[in-house]
Every structure is written in C-alpha cells, then in structure tokens.
Structure 1
Amino acid sequence: MGKIKKPGVYITEINSFPNSVVPVPTAIPAFIGYTPRVKFKQKSYKNVPQKISSFAEFQEIYGYSDFPKALDPAKQYSPEYYLVKQKNQPKKDNFISIDGSFYSVLPDPNTIYYLYNSIRLFYENGGGEAYIVSVGTYGQPSKKPINPGKQIVNPNIQLNALINGVASLKNEKEPTMYICPEATLLSIEENGTLMQEMLRQNTEVQTAISIFDVIGGRNPDPTLYTKDIENFRNNTGEIGLSYGAAYYPFIETTIMQASDVDFTNLFGGDISQLESIINPADNQNPKISKLLDEIKNPSLRISITQYHKSLLIASKTYNSIINEVLKSINVMPASGGIAGVITRTDIQQGVWKAPANASIFGAVDLPIRITNEQQEDLNVDVVSGKSINAIRFFNGKGILIWGARTLDGNSQEMKYISIRRTLIFLEQSCKSAAQAYIFEPNTKNTWDSIKSMIGSFLTGIWREGGLMGAKASDAFSVQCGLGSTMTSVDIENGILIVSVGVALTRPAEFIVFSFELQLPTTD
C-alpha cells in the first residue's frame, strides 16, 4: 500500500493463491497435405495453419461445396482406377478374376491422396482439436494406370510444398504431433528429405513429435519387405530421432463405402472401357446394355448414384469391381489413426501411458501379418538403432498397435514415445508458467515461489500416476538458488536457472516370468 495521507478505512486485497502451472494440451496433431480446396469465404488457407475441432469443420473449410440443384453430392476425394488384363495371376496388386482372365486393379497415381481420409480416421479413433495445413488442391489425373507392381508416386505432390507447410508451423506452439500422410507418395529420396526436415524442426521447436509411415507398407512383398524397412532407416538421418516414431505396415480400413465410388472412378470416366468388361459384345445382357446406353446418353434427370445402384444390382461383375477398387482405396497410412489413438489414450489415461496394445478403430485387415520373429528386426535394429513400431493382428483380439518406441531405439533415456511426449508436456507446462516471473527480482523469494509452483504441479502429476516413486520426493526434485543452480555471475547477467529432475514411468515392454519348481515336502 502506498503512503496514506488522510484518515479513513482502506482495503488491501491479498492474493491468497500463488501462481500455478497450467498443463498444456498433449494431443493436438497438425496434418500437412493436399485438400479438395484451399479457399473458404474468399479467404485463402494455403500454408495457413488452421485449428479445427471436428471433421464437419474440416469439411466446411476445405471440402467442396454442394450446389443446391445438383443431383449428386460433391465427391471430396475421387481417385481413378483402371483394370488391366494380365497373363498370369498378379502377386502384389489387387486383382479380380473375370471369365477366367485376371485383371490388376491399378490406380492413376496422379489421383491418389491420403490426407482427407486420414482426417476421417483420426476422428473415428477419438480425435479432437487439430491443425490443418493445406499446401494445395488436387492436381490433374494422368489418364493412365500405374505400372503393375510399382509403388505409387504422385507427381502432383511436391516436396517443397510439403516442406513449406511444415515450416508454417514453426510459430505454432499448440501442435504436439506433425503428420504428413502423403509423404509416402513421394519418391524414396524426397520422402527422406521431408522426414529429416520434420525431425530437424521438431528438435528446434521442442514441442512436437513426428509420426511417420513407411513407403512400401501399402503393398509389401512377403519376403522382400525388409528392403522397404532398410530404405526407411537409411533415409531418416541422425538428427532428432527421439522426436520421431514410425509405424508399419499400412492398414486396411472401412473409411470409404460403396456409395463413395462409382463408374466415374473407373477408366477415367470412359464408360466404353467398362462396358467391354461387364457387358462384352459376345455375351451381352439386355438390362446392362440399356443402363449403359442411358449413362452414355442421359435424357432423364437421373443421378449418377441412381445409375450406380442400378448397375450394382444388374451386374455381379460390376459389383465385384467396385468392391476391389474400394479395397485398394481403403488401404491407408496408419499415421492418422495413430494420432487418434494417442489422443484417446491421453484423455483416458494420460500422456505417460504408452499408445500401444490399443486397437485402431476402422482397421479391418493388414497388407502383411507380421510374426514375432519379423517384429524382432523392426523393434530393435543393432546397426542403426532405429525402431519401427509394428501394427499386428492377433487372433481373438484383432488389429493392435504393438510397439511404443521412438526412432531413437538405442537411447536408454528416449527410446519410448511416452517418455519423449511426457517430457515435452512437463517442459512446456513449466515453461509457460514461468513466463509470469520474467522481470521479477532474481532473489530467494522468487526462487522459492518458482520451486513451490513447479513442485505442486509435479506432485499432482505423481498422484495421477505420471511419475514413479513411493513418495513425491522420490518422483521429482526441483532446485533453484544461488550455489545450487546459479552463480553470482548468472544473477548479475539476469539469468535464473531452475533444475528439475523427474522419474518418468516406462512401459513394461518385456514381461518376464520366472518359475521355480518346488518339490513337495514329506513328513
């Protein structure tokens, strides 16, 4: 209270509650990639991080708008596929057998994108708030299929565009995960460049990890898949490995349904090519012929959806083709679903719980079923030390995330995702709270106040199970003061140093039982 100059009654309010640490959010992913559109209400959202809280909000900003008088709703994602006749049964590609002939079901690589459905998968798995960075809209199709057996590389997806999208997040402190599903549609070399740039930025900002998918995880060879793993490890570099986590393989989902695909997705919309397969000249079906004629020469206000449903009923072959195309479209990178699982785990149990031994909702199968022996080389690599988390199928349990490691698999401190993410959470929460003490006197009162504030916060985390120890003093320590964390020179230079030690919980990755045979005693 200032100097009192006249008689009277005065009130002085005293702050009874000291400053406290407010926990920062732990599961806010940032998705970087291509969207149906980048303009909404005359505003461009290209390379502009935009926070959303639902899939409906994502669609409103980045999705195509429906015209009021349109017969069919706008397709937000419309990949194109071709049926290519083969001499023998394909070994890797999706295929269909029609009248004794084998047809590979092959995409036009220029039309394949993963971001839209990854957002859907994120929300299906419990996702909440997220950031979207659109780096552009879909490009033009090539009007031809990919060569059989080849990995999909979409030339419309540009490395520099994705790097610039990642860079736009530098000043955003909320995102805790970077996810770029379409990185797997780059070449192996460009994918490596992008991953290294993401890890470098993670190291710089220290607020987020990156979740990676492995090129080749979409359609792996049962024996030669190890080459895809080797390529991945060779291209991730050595910087910021504890800020990265990789998952293998892709997952087969139910994200897109039969209503999302129709004959316009086949042969670039050329109905005559479809006709030669489902209604060949030497074995024509009158009903199918009439339907196809109406589609080619529409005279009534009948929607594509209605024609599509009629074809599904009239032609078993068409039905089989659509199902096979859907199966191919629904094989997706797992990263979007992983982000949803992490969000769900954080909400239910806490950031310190490893996001593993958990189901990915919407996943119904895997392109390859990894065995115990195969996972050994994924989980622990003696050469590079770069761990890759397996997604596996278990009888009676279904598809589970069966790994919880960062890429820094040789590190004793940062080998687990939960350790890295918990440390980010604690660091950023304490850092944010400490902002209140900037320009405060660098004296014992300030030091004690900071120690009390952080100590109270960490006690709460310990009680929730986030720190190890029989008592709070075993779980953490907070030091701040002259002679312990600072010298007189530090104080003269305006530097206040706080030292925090925490005993973080680690996942029980290997559970070992020891049994001893005890012989019965005789009287």
Structure 2
Amino acid sequence: MAMKTPGVYIVEKNAFPNSVVEVATAVPAFIGYTERADNGGKPLANKPWRISSMAEYHQYFGFGPTPKLSIVATTVDKASFQAEDKYYALQQQDGSVGGRFLLYYGMLHFFQNGGGPCYVVSVGGYDGEVEADKLIAGIEPLVKEQEPTMVVIPDAVLLAKKNCILVQQEMLQHCGGRMRSRIAILDVWAGFRDRKDPAGDPVNDFRNDLGINNLDFAAAYYPWVNTTVLQDKDVDYTAIVNGDTLIGLLMAELALPADYAESLPERTKQQWKTVQAIKMSDDEWRAQITADIDQSEKTDEQKAKLREERALRQAVETHKALLNKNLVVSSPLFKTLMGEAVNLLNLLPPSMAMAGVYTMVDNTRGVWKAPANVSLNGVVSPAVTISHEDQEDLNVTTQGKSINAIRSFIGEGVLVWGARTLDGNSLDWRYINVRRTMIMLEESCRLAAKAMVFEPNVANTWVTIKSMIANFLTGIWKRGGLAGAVPDDAFSVHVGLGETMTPEDILEGILRVTVLVAISRPAEFIEITFQQQLQKS
C-alpha cells in the first residue's frame, strides 16, 4: 500500500492458511438402459445426470422394463414345475424387445442398501438389445465429471461372456488408467452358477479373461443374490410370452374343454372365461370396457370423459389385475408359475447393492472402514452357498485376483464377507478401504493445492502448503482414518529446498510435496490362542 497522505492506514493480513475440503467418497455412476431419458423435453441420452432418490429417477428415466418370460419344456433336473407328467422351466429373454435390463432393479436395490446421490448415464431404451459398444460409450462422458467415485455397469452381465469382459476391462482402464480417482465394482459373469457347474467355473473364467491391468482400482463380488426387489404384485400373466402354452397348461389343470359350452356348471364356466381372457389384447379390453360404459347409466358428458385414453388404460390394468388374481386363486399351477417368475426376476448381480453398502458405510463410519461384515438389505439368500473352505480360493490365490464372497450365516442373515480389491497380492492396495481412502486424500489435497499454482516458489508458500495439508490430515486422524497414537505416527508432510526439491526443480517451476500416511487396515484374520495351564489352587 502506497502511503502518500498523512493519516492512519489499516492493513489486514490472513492469519490462517487455506483449508483442505474433504471430497465426497460415495458418489457412484451407473451406466445402463432406461425406459426414457429426458428432462422436460431435453434429451439426457449418454449424459451423466445427478439424482438422489428413486423419485428423481422416475422423473427423468421412467420405470422398469416389462418382464418377458417363456415357458419351455426341460429335463427334471432343470425343471421349475411339473404339469401333465412333463417338466417345464421359465426362461428369461435377455436383451430382447421389452426383455431383461438390470439398471432399474439395481437402482431399487442400491437405495434399499443405503444409497444416496449418484449419477445415471442412459445409453438406450428398452426397444433394443444390450450392446457392449453402447455401454462402453457411456463411460466416456464420465471423464468430464469430477464427483463420481465409483463406476457400476450391471447390464454388462447380460452380454456374451467375452463382451462382458470387454466392458469390464474398459471400466478398469477408465478408473485406474485414466481417472485414478474412482474404482470399478464388478460382477462375475454367470455368477449365479456354482463353481462346480458343468457349464464351467464362473470365477476361474472371470480371472482368466480379465487381465492384470489396473486391478487395484476394482473390486468384484460373487455370487449373485436372490432379492426381494420385485413383489408378487409386480408380475402377472402378461409376462408370459408364449400365452398359448400357458393357456393349454391351465385348461389341462382345470380340466376345461377346448370349446366354450353353455351347459357347463357355473364355476367351470367362470374358470373357462378367466383362462380365455388371457388371449384378449389391450385393444379388445378397451372395446369391451367402452361397451360396458355405453350400457351404463351415465350422461353423455360422463361417458365421453371415461373414454379418454388414460381412463381406459387404468381400466384395462384393473381388469388385468382382477384376472390375474382370479388365476392365482383358481389355479395352483399358475400360482407356482408366478412365484417362479418373481424368483427369476429377483436374481440380481450384487454390484449395485454393494455401491449402496459403500455409501452407507462411508456416511456412518467413514471411507476408511472396510465395507464388509455388513448385511445386505432386500436379499433372501446368495444364489450359491459358500462355505469356509470354498472361500479360501476366492479370498487368497496365487494370481492375487481376490473376489469378495457374499455369504449367509445362521442367525445373522446375508453378509458381505470380503474387503479386498482384485489386486489381492499387493501389500499396498490389497484392501478396498485403503485404496478408496488414498483416493480421497489425494483428490482433497490436489484440489486444495490448486490455489497455490503460480504462487512464488519460496519458503512462505511451502509453509502454507505444509500447514494446510497437516491440518487436514490431523482432522482425518482424529476421526480414526489414520493409524497412530499421535499425529506424528499417523502422517508427515515434507516440502522445501533440500528436502523434496533441488534448485533445478525451482528453476523448472516445480514444487514437490511428499506426504506419508499410515492408513488403517482391517483385521481380516483374528487369531485367539488358547493354552492350558497348571492348576494353581
């Protein structure tokens, strides 16, 4: 300040350094297929869009796909039900028009398990097949987003095995090779199979095909889980694609004639009408309802209002629900069939539920707590039962590709029983919480240090940066994020000429800061030793 006029001048000086703000750690990005993708008429296709609830998801991306299942004849060992001394199973039409898409159901499971703010990238609608190229293209827009810390693509497991691996390798490249600020949560392809399944060991196939690049930025979970995301009311007879087969089985079960006859007893007549009603299309339903309205005692104005498309659609759905209810009551076979349909649709890969678990653990304990020994909400059982011995090869292998188990324990429910990255042999990055804590520390300090870019590379700047980072790490240590009885044992910050920099570095405009941290690691193995001693009294 230039002083030219006599008087009193006030000079303010900053007494404290800038602070480091801890970045968010639990913001997953989900990529997949949605019913629609628009914001008030503006398209959201292939655009990361932040939401924080299922209500917002419904607003921007619509609802779930219409299930499409086929009844197919099969052998007794693969049968879901038996009819007329023949064995049948339900088969899901993956990726077909209106077929299976997992993002919507996974979103429900994510929020059930403690999920919060997240990003959704819609790569297409329900009118086509799941394609690897589209899913991979959905990863690219995330490069411009700073906030996401996890990447999840549940629809990848609907692809052929080689294409699923291709998508997962792109996820690893994005997280570890390019961004280095987020991790990928992977599902094992065909993870609903037992490892001794004749079709092959899904875990070995996953390990053999995935490769070895960027494994410390990913975690995988096995097996898939049987959930309660869909309820019985969410699936009805319209989910069965081959309706003629369904009608034939129901008519045989109820001993109904092929042709309607007025001479039938009243109860049998109603059963016949119920089964035959399955054949009616939505247009036929509307015509029938419209005729009923015309015959009712209402004014012309009321009739016109009731004929509106929305009212007719609601009426159609009501009639379908009543028909489905009648079928459940009158046909044990149909009830069994719908139960199998719900179970089949509720079989989901666990990655999106795990994203919810990560969020819940981060919010309640901190990112430094391993996301394990936590129960999964909305899960009935794992698709494959894993014993203590079975998990040995999952957790510790010579190749180091650790896969975290999801296991069921008596009296405790379904628990996440593993906390390792895919780089299981690395002493640095073996544990998920270590990798994610380091990402949080690095990103927090990096963003805070941007304020020092182009500042003079002198001692005052070095002291400011050192105190700024040290204050931040002290706060993390107090909350239990770093190991050590005192701060000096938990971390140290080094910066300065002769310590981290040479005179040549300063001439080159380089300011080097070295931060050493002792991150807490989980007690994965607890050993309690018992030994007998001599009697003392």
Q: TM-score, normalised by structure 2?
A: 0.88
Task: State how far apart, in whole Å, the 1-side matches of 2:182 and 2:423 are.
Answer: 15
Conservation of the 8 A alpha-carbon contact between 2:195 and 2:201: no
Deviations 1:397-453 (A, max 9, x none): 110000000000110110100110000010001111101111111111110111101
1:94-243 pair list within 5 angstroms = 95-109=80-94, 110=96, 111-140=99-128, 156-203=129-176, 204-220=178-194, 222-224=196-198, 227-243=201-217
Aligned partner (choices 358, 370, 373) of residue 386 of structure 2:
370
Structure 2 residue aligned with 1:26: 25
Work out whether 1:518 is the aligned partner of 2:529: no
Task: State how far apart, in whole Å, the 2-side matches of 1:331 and 1:294 are.
Answer: 30
Structure 2 residue aligned with 1:315: 331
Structure 2 residue aligned with 1:432: 447
Task: State how far apart, in whole Å, the 2-side matches of 1:60 and 1:282 are.
Answer: 44
One-letter identity of the residue aligned with 1:487: T
One-letter identity of the residue aligned with 2:522: P
Structure 1 residue aligned with 2:369: 353
Task: State how far apart, in whole Å, the 1-side matches of 2:336 and 2:27 are.
Answer: 39
One-letter identity of the residue aligned with 1:13: E
Structure 2 residue aligned with 1:306: 322
Work out whether 1:401 is the aligned partner of 2:419: no
Conservation of the 8 A alpha-carbon contact between 1:25 and 1:174: yes
Aligned sequence identity (%): 43
Structure 2 residue aligned with 1:72: none
Structure 2 residue aligned with 1:417: 432
For the residue of structure 1 that corresponds to 2:121, the secondary structure is strand
Task: State how far apart, in whole Å, the 2-side matches of 1:252 and 1:321 are.
Answer: 17
- 1:361 is displaced (CA, Å) by 0.4
One-letter identity of the residue aligned with 2:415: L
- 1:514 is displaced (CA, Å) by 1.6
- 1:396 is displaced (CA, Å) by 0.8
- 1:170 is displaced (CA, Å) by 1.2
One-letter identity of the residue aligned with 2:245: Q
Task: State how far apart, in whole Å, the 2-side matches of 1:232 and 1:289 are.
Answer: 50
Conservation of the 8 A alpha-carbon contact between 1:222 and 1:368: no
For the residue of structure 2 that corresponds to 1:327, the secondary structure is helix
Deviations 1:450-473 (A, max 9, x none): 110100111111111111111100
Task: State how far apart, in whole Å, the 2-side matches of 1:317 and 1:425 are.
Answer: 54
Aligned partner (choices 266, 286, 289) of residue 269 of structure 2:
286
- 1:503 is displaced (CA, Å) by 0.4
Structure 2 residue aligned with 1:81: 69
Task: State how far apart, in whole Å, the 2-side matches of 1:424 and 1:438 are.
Answer: 21
- 1:101 is displaced (CA, Å) by 2.9
Deviations 1:300-335 (A, max 9, x none): 244322322232223222111111000000000000
30-39 vs 500-509, which deviates more? 30-39
Task: State how far apart, in whole Å, the 2-side matches of 1:251 and 1:225 are.
Answer: 19
Task: State how far apart, in whole Å, the 1-side matches of 2:534 and 2:352 are.
Answer: 54
Task: State how far apart, in whole Å, the 1-side matches of 2:361 and 2:134 are.
Answer: 32
Task: State how far apart, in whole Å, the 2-side matches of 1:198 and 1:509 are.
Answer: 27
Conservation of the 8 A alpha-carbon contact between 2:374 and 2:415: yes
Task: State how far apart, in whole Å, the 2-side matches of 1:53 and 1:476 are.
Answer: 35
Aligned partner (choices 276, 280, 284) of residue 248 of structure 2:
276
Aligned partner (choices 479, 499, 502) of residue 464 of structure 1:
479
Task: State how far apart, in whole Å, the 2-side matches of 1:261 and 1:288 are.
Answer: 21
Deviations 1:7-63 (A, max 9, x none): 444443333432001000001000011111123322121111111111110111010
Deviations 1:139-183 (A, max 9, x none): 35xxxxxxxxxxxxxxx1111111111121112111111000011
Structure 2 residue aligned with 1:498: 513
Task: State how far apart, in whole Å, the 1-side matches of 2:405 and 2:389 are.
Answer: 12
For the residue of structure 2 that corresponds to 1:230, the secondary structure is helix
**Structure 1 residues 512, 7: CA separation in 2 closer, same or farther (over 3 Å shift)?**
same
One-letter identity of the residue aligned with 1:207: S
Conservation of the 8 A alpha-carbon contact between 1:193 and 1:235: no
One-letter identity of the residue aligned with 2:213: I
How many aligned positions are there? 489
Task: State how far apart, in whole Å, the 2-side matches of 1:98 and 1:165 are.
Answer: 45
Aligned partner (choices 256, 278, 297) of residue 230 of structure 2:
256
Work out whether 1:6 is the aligned partner of 2:5: yes
One-letter identity of the residue aligned with 1:371: S
For the residue of structure 2 that corresponds to 1:118, the secondary structure is helix
Q: TM-score, normalised by structure 1?
A: 0.90
Conservation of the 8 A alpha-carbon contact between 1:245 and 1:388: yes
Conservation of the 8 A alpha-carbon contact between 1:47 and 1:133: yes
Structure 1 residue aligned with 2:294: none
- 1:286 is displaced (CA, Å) by 3.0
- 1:493 is displaced (CA, Å) by 1.0
**Structure 1 residues 262, 18: CA separation in 2 closer, same or farther (over 3 Å shift)?**
same
Deviations 1:468-501 (A, max 9, x none): 1111000001001011111111111111111000
Task: State how far apart, in whole Å, the 2-side matches of 1:282 and 1:469 are.
Answer: 73
* Larger radius of gyration between Structure 1 and Structure 2: 2
Conservation of the 8 A alpha-carbon contact between 1:267 and 1:274: no
Deviations 1:198-255 (A, max 9, x none): 1111122111000000012124365558721111001211110000100000000000
Conservation of the 8 A alpha-carbon contact between 1:90 and 1:104: no
Conservation of the 8 A alpha-carbon contact between 2:195 and 2:203: no
**Structure 1 residues 287, 208: CA separation in 2 closer, same or farther (over 3 Å shift)?**
same
For the residue of structure 2 that corresponds to 1:373, the secondary structure is helix
- 1:98 is displaced (CA, Å) by 3.0
Structure 2 residue aligned with 1:327: 343
Task: State how far apart, in whole Å, the 1-side matches of 2:102 and 2:240 are.
Answer: 19
For the residue of structure 2 that corresponds to 1:15, the secondary structure is coil
Q: What are the ranges of 5 or more consecutive residues in structure 2 without an aligned counterpart?
A: 257-267, 290-314
For the residue of structure 2 that corresponds to 1:378, the secondary structure is helix
Task: State how far apart, in whole Å, the 2-side matches of 1:202 and 1:101 are.
Answer: 50
Task: State how far apart, in whole Å, the 1-side matches of 2:81 and 2:253 are.
Answer: 20
272-281 vs 348-357, which deviates more? 272-281
Work out whether 1:90 is the aligned partner of 2:106: no
Conservation of the 8 A alpha-carbon contact between 1:490 and 1:496: yes
Conservation of the 8 A alpha-carbon contact between 2:52 and 2:118: yes
**Larger helix share, 1 or 2:** 2
Task: State how far apart, in whole Å, the 2-side matches of 1:162 and 1:217 are.
Answer: 20
349-358 vs 215-224, which deviates more? 215-224
Conservation of the 8 A alpha-carbon contact between 1:216 and 1:225: no
Task: State how far apart, in whole Å, the 2-side matches of 1:497 and 1:135 are.
Answer: 42
One-letter identity of the residue aligned with 1:495: I
252-261 vs 96-105, which deviates more? 96-105
